[in-house]
Amino acid sequence: MFESAELGHEIDKATYRQQEAELREALLAAQLALKQRSEFPVIIVLAGMPSAGKGEIANLLTEWMDPRHISTLAFDASNDEEAARPPFWRFWRALPPKGNIGIVFGSWYADPLWHWNRKDSVQVERRIERIVRLEKLLTDDGALVLKFWLHLSKDRLKKRLKQLAADPRTAWRVTKDDKRVLKEYDGHSAHYQYLLTHTNQADSAWRVVEGWDANYRALSVGRQVLEAIQHHLARESVRQRRIEAAPLQPSIDGVRLLDTLKLGHALTKDAHKAKLELLQGRLNGLVRDPRFAKHAVVAVFEGMDAAGKGGAIRRVTAALDARQYRVVPIAAPSDEERAQPYLWRFWRHVPARGRLVIFDRSWYGRVLVERVEGFAAQAEWLRAYTEINDFEAQLDDAGVIVVKFWLAVSKDEQLARFKEREVVEWKRFKITDEDWRNREKWDDYIAAGSDMIERTSTPFAPWHLIGANNKYHARIQVLEALCDAIESRFQQKTSGKQKD
Amino acid sequence: MFESAELGHEIDKATYRQQEAELREALLAAQLALKQRSEFPVIIVLAGMPSAGKGEIANLLTEWMDPRHISTLAFDASNDEEAARPPFWRFWRALPPKGNIGIVFGSWYADPLWHWNRKDSVQVERRIERIVRLEKLLTDDGALVLKFWLHLSKDRLKKRLKQLAADPRTAWRVTKDDKRVLKEYDGHSAHYQYLLTHTNQADSAWRVVEGWDANYRALSVGRQVLEAIQHHLARESVRQRRIEAAPLQPSIDGVRLLDTLKLGHALTKDAHKAKLELLQGRLNGLVRDPRFAKHAVVAVFEGMDAAGKGGAIRRVTAALDARQYRVVPIAAPSDEERAQPYLWRFWRHVPARGRLVIFDRSWYGRVLVERVEGFAAQAEWLRAYTEINDFEAQLDDAGVIVVKFWLAVSKDEQLARFKEREVVEWKRFKITDEDWRNREKWDDYIAAGSDMIERTSTPFAPWHLIGANNKYHARIQVLEALCDAIESRFQQKTSGKQKD
């Protein structure tokens, strides 16, 4: 795949001058259109051989375009906020918002590129899978992902490093790693080709550009960026263009998972109190256990309105030190969140090791309320199942314990609770017209919830279905499941765990 | 000031039980009202003697209230993102949005509290000044700031530490520092009183509470929080309530600073080119100088529409590596930004050491467009001068080089540029109806700009007033001033610089 990029392409100065002027103007116009539409971001990934001009290309692109809406994201070693979270957290937090261009250095490819001599390792294979999924998520969401590989043949790399080393002003740019790549050029080249091949996707294909001649590489990258943006802008609709998720299986017998749960349980307030205190003590001990410092907890609470999520959450937090946890209530997204892929607003709350984050409603809104109310297009919520599973797998890989609760109440019980809320002074704020409207769509929510559980209950992040007509019973169940999840994770051999 | 908190207040269990129930309900109702109004945040600062119950109070408050809208912010040692920026950056980024409650541990008081034996040091005095200014900014912005000092007399501290040490389950809680406080109790106590006295302000006074009896301290803090929120909610308007900034001096002779600038300069395109390249080379060398790693640059561009800000910025960024800088264009705030004090949206972009951030328009919008258009109340923009100077002083203290440019064009020159923009295809996006409307208020902007420069041109962050009718001249001036500012900072004895 590097053949054409070893031919020694060159563009003379006069041709370059003339073409550059046109290109700049066109790029600026395309960037403006991109900003005015603000429907998708452009993510430009730069990778390649050492000294092949990645930095120069980034500088040129920002110089050609309006620097206010293009930014360069350079990822070096993880800082400590990043190191305490799943590896991709730092990429998520840096994503350019819709309408903007982000040039990414040391991107999600940096790690596997450097593990060139472990190309058959599980690490590299899993990282490739993660990359493919991340880029698919981004492009499915409408992002334009452009990946450039700046190439140098072995001879030209040798010549370039020699040139740089000879000049005292540039000698510092030649690193040990660069020399190693040259020394073991064929091995590296084979590994790079392997990586590029396996991360090629229809919507995020690699574009190999020879990096030898500055004029050639500048025009080549610049034109491809221009054409790609123009082409992407010309598409009719980003959101609806394709459904790439397996459709749901039609129900044959009409039996739905969430209709089959046992909802009522006998447990009195007094009987539950002793159990509750015991469990809270257990939970408190678990999160103060030294082993917890290597983990974190993400707890998700879903369920019909008035199912008792808030009450259950308070029984959990009562067992915790206020410095250790955060409760994140999910309502309408902010405008900064709307300018990003759907999962961005959850990624930003992923806890550091040693912490707990409790979501009162969550990313599952995509396949519940957004599906039922039509806020998300079918293509969007159908692929959300996969995206969510992948998100949770990444949490799990990083040691985060994911515990998901569906609190189930019967329709009658909900009605009783709604009515109580309308009567009791300090509960009145909890009941709104929207709750009554949602209730009318009870069946749709049962269907959506049943599909959700079937498609997102995974070994690493199972759903806990909790009959909650008796709220005392439900709270005990929640605490027990949470404690069990943490305890069983402590007992897993972490050595066998994939670090990604 | 600790006298009343050494009396041995105690509340018996029965009384506590009964009062707690009422208090909880009232707190929950107040919290709900706070959230529904979402006009101001509540910031609860917890400090005090060791083992006086700070953690317990935080846990109780979050248990009593709705945990979704209250969060605890614990600041331990700075992580590396924080350490690379001015000391208060980490407090700004953690501020609770309007409608929410934040409980702050290890707050802006942590440092000066530990420097107890240096109470006459410049460090402590300057930190006190910073604290006073931060809290004044927050309360002026409408925040309810509640500061609790949980106190223990010497005897009770001794007894408490003994109790904790005796029980193997709590012995770990007694640290070396705690023992030191006990050993040198009187010195610490005197220092604490000094600090508390000097950080007492009308709107953010310290509330000293005896920390001995858990029931007493819980009811005492809880009730004060309740009453303060209720009282704050009852106020009519947060924004307009008071003007606490010196009014502007009326002009006697009608001469305005910005009318007196020389705007036209002779410099041809060709003549400027050689100079420009030289200056860009100089700037590039300066930011790659090893000394720059201890600094950062914040460059601010202001001026009338079409004054050439964008063009000047591009000439600066052309000299820089794209990985090292960001350009931040300031337009309307996002809704997350609107839920915070005005300066929050600029604090979040403060560069780490070794980086540059260029603001295309800036926090000066407060005293320019927001003043002229009436978007900010008079009280708000009048106090902004002080808040801005303090913000820039903090940047300067942390080694950030602040360079501010006012690009000045004549009214005729602006008209010519507007007309050119309407004609040239790829410039058309740069001219909007708003630009024409702003032009009608030319005189108001000249007045506002003149006041701004008079009140915010400081030794550590001077304004550079640049005649920009000749854009070539302006670009040279900008680059020169930027280079000079960096160079002269390198030459300052950094050892004499206050670290805060």
What DSSP designation does A424 have?
Answer: S
Residues B471/B307, Cβ–Cβ less than 8 Å: no
Average pLDDT in the B412-429 region? 85
B300 located within any domain: yes
Cα diameter, chain B: 88
Secondary structure of residue A121 in the 3-state scheme: coil
Candidate from B67, B326, B328 with C-beta closest to A317: B67
Write out pLDDT tens, residues B146-203: 999 999 999 999 999 999 999 888 888 898 989 999 999 999 998 899 889 889 988 8
Nearest to B99 by CA among B24, B37, B176, B187: B37
Q: Is the pLDDT of residue B500 over 60?
A: no
Mean of pLDDT over chain B = 90
H helices present in A235-268, as ranges: none
Candidate from B55, B67, B69 with C-beta closest to A321: B55
Average pLDDT in the B219-238 region? 89
B39 located within any domain: yes
Distance CA A495, CA A238 (A): 43
Average pLDDT in the B251-267 region? 83
Q: What is the DSSP string of A6-72?
A: GS-----HHHHHHHHHHHHHHHHHHHHHHHHH-S--EEEEEEESTTSSHHHHHHHHHHHS-GGGEEE
| CA dihedral sign, ordered B454, B459, B463, B465 | positive
A22 located within any domain: yes
B264 touches chain A (CB under 8 A): no
Tokens of B319: 């000299």
Question: Can you give chain B as a three-state secondary structure string?
Answer: CCHHHHCCCCCCHHHHHHHHHHHHHHHHHHHHHHHHHCCCCEEEEEEECCCCCHHHHHHHHHHHCCHHHEEEEECCCCCHHHHCCCCCHHHHHHCCCCCCEEEEECCCCHHHHHCHHHCCCHHHHHHHHHHHHHHHHHHHCCCEEEEEEEECCHHHHHHHHHHHHHCCCCHHHCCHHHHHHHHCHHHHHHHHHHHHHHCCECCECEEEEECCCHHHHHHHHHHHHHHHHHHHHHCCCCCCCCCCCCCCCCCCCCCCHHHCCCCCCCCCHHHHHHHHHHHHHHHHHHHHCHHHHHCEEEEEEEECCCCCHHHHHHHHHCCCCCCCEEEEECCCCCHHHHCCCCCHHHHCCCCCCCCEEEEECCHHHHHCHHHHCCCCCHHHHHHHHHHHHHHHHHHHHCCEEEEEEEEECCHHHHHHHHHHHHHCHHHHHHCCHHHHHHHHCHHHHHHHHHHHHHHHCECCECEEEEECCCHHHHHHHHHHHHHHHHHHHHHCCHHHCCCC
B103 touches chain A (CB under 8 A): yes
Same domain, A195 and A290: no
Contact A103 B25 (CB under 8 A): no
pLDDT at A495: 41
Distance CA B439, CA B396 (A): 34
Distance CA A287, CA A321 (A): 9
Contact B321 A59 (CB under 8 A): yes
Number of cross-chain residue pairs from A and B with Cβ atoms under 8 Å apart: 100
| Range of lowest pLDDT (A384-398, B40-54, B244-258, B474-488) | B244-258
Contact B317 A62 (CB under 8 A): yes
A172 touches chain B (CB under 8 A): no
Residue B29: HSE in the Cβ half-sphere, 13 Å Cα cutoff = 14
Same domain, A215 and A276: no
- Tell me how many degrees the CA angle A370-A308-B58 measures, rounded to the nearest 5: 105
Same domain, A484 and A449: yes
Candidate from A55, A320, A329 with C-beta closest to B321: A55
Tokens of B354: 């070794």
Residue B345's domain is classified under what CATH number?
A: 3.40.50.300
Same domain, B140 and B229: yes
What DSSP designation does A387 have?
Answer: H
pLDDT at A245: 61
Same domain, B210 and B355: no
Shortest distance between the Cα of B122 and any Cα of chain A, in A, equals 31
H helices present in A378-493, as ranges: 378-397, 411-423, 433-440, 442-456, 471-491
Same domain, A264 and A221: no
Same domain, A153 and A299: no
Give ipTM to 2 decimals: 0.82
Tokens of A303: 């369920």
Angle of helix A471-491 relative to helix A309-317, nearest 10 degrees, comes to 50
Shortest distance between the Cα of B190 and any Cα of chain A, in A, equals 29
A:424-443 residues touching chain B, CB 8 A cutoff? 426, 429
Residue of A nearest to B29 (CA): A426
Distance CA B29, CA B42 (A): 15
- Tell me how many degrees the CA angle B28-A306-A412 measures, rounded to the nearest 5: 140
pLDDT at A246: 64
Residue of A nearest to B318 (CA): A63
Distance CA B4, CA A6 (A): 83
CA distances (Å), B214 to each of A139, B1, B13, B166, B221, in order? 56, 21, 10, 19, 11
A248 located within any domain: no
Same domain, B183 and B265: no
B412 touches chain A (CB under 8 A): no
Terminal alpha carbon distance of chain A: 27
Residues A391/A363, Cβ–Cβ less than 8 Å: yes
Which portions of chain A are predicted below pLDDT 50? Answer: 240, 495-500
Contact A322 B429 (CB under 8 A): no
Distance CA A214, CA A234 (A): 30
Residues B287/B324, Cβ–Cβ less than 8 Å: yes
**Which residues in A178-307 belong to E strands, given as ranges?**
206-210, 296-303
Same domain, A101 and A15: yes
A382 located within any domain: yes
pLDDT at A375: 92
Same domain, A142 and A275: no
A56 touches chain B (CB under 8 A): no
| Range of lowest pLDDT (A251-255, B304-308, B414-418) | A251-255
> Which residues of chain B make contact with A277, given a CB cutoff of 8 A?
none
pLDDT at B495: 41
Tokens of A399: 């040691």
> Which residues of chain B make contact with A310, given a CB cutoff of 8 A?
66, 68
Tally of structural domains, chain A: 2
Structural domain boundaries enclosing B307: 258-496
Average pLDDT in the B73-93 region? 89
Same domain, B384 and B346: yes
B239 located within any domain: no
Candidate from A58, A323, A336 with C-beta closest to B336: A336
Secondary structure of residue A204 in the 3-state scheme: strand
A437 located within any domain: yes
A270 located within any domain: yes
Angle of helix B471-491 relative to helix B309-317, nearest 10 degrees, comes to 50
| Range of lowest pLDDT (A476-480, B80-84, B423-427, B463-467) | B423-427
B36 touches chain A (CB under 8 A): yes
Same domain, A229 and A292: no
Residues B316/B482, Cβ–Cβ less than 8 Å: yes
Q: Is the pLDDT of residue B241 over 70?
A: no
Average pLDDT in the B306-326 region? 93
Domain final residue pick, A199, A234, A269? A234
pLDDT at B497: 47
B243 touches chain A (CB under 8 A): no
**Which residues in A304-436 belong to E strands, given as ranges?**
325-329, 356-360, 400-408
